[in-house]
Amino acid sequence: APTLALTVVSALNKAWCVSCFSCSTCNSKLTLKNKFVEFDMKPVCKRCYEKFPLELKRRLKKLSELASRKAHPKAGNPSSA
């Protein structure tokens, strides 16, 4: 049986079929080369993100900083062993 080769984009801790990976706001196609922002677990292109209200952008920035802090704990923390 012929195998169906699907190109998969890994982003936002999920795997996306390339044809499905698009901005959740304007539906424009995205690739990993595009700048995109995660919003509500879905990708949003930079252009739509720029249209978000400032307060929302501020909140998203804070969330992404918290997430990256969790993902990369600061080195040199004494382990409480």
Domain with residue 40: its CATH number is 2.10.110
Residue 44 lies in a domain: yes
- The Cα–Cα gap between 80 and 27 comes to 48
Q: Is residue 79 part of a domain?
A: no
| Residue 31 included in any domain | yes
Using one digit for the tens of pLDDT, what is the confidence trace for 22-81? Answer: 999 999 998 878 888 888 888 999 999 999 999 999 998 888 888 778 777 666 555 555
Return the closest-CA partner of residue 41 out of 55, 24, 26, 57: 24
* Structural domain for 15, as ranges: 8-71
81 part of a folded domain: no
Selection from 8, 13, 30 nearest residue 70 by Cα: 13
Distances (CA, A) of 51 to 13, 16, 26, 45, 56: 25, 25, 11, 10, 10
Structural domain tally of the chain? 1
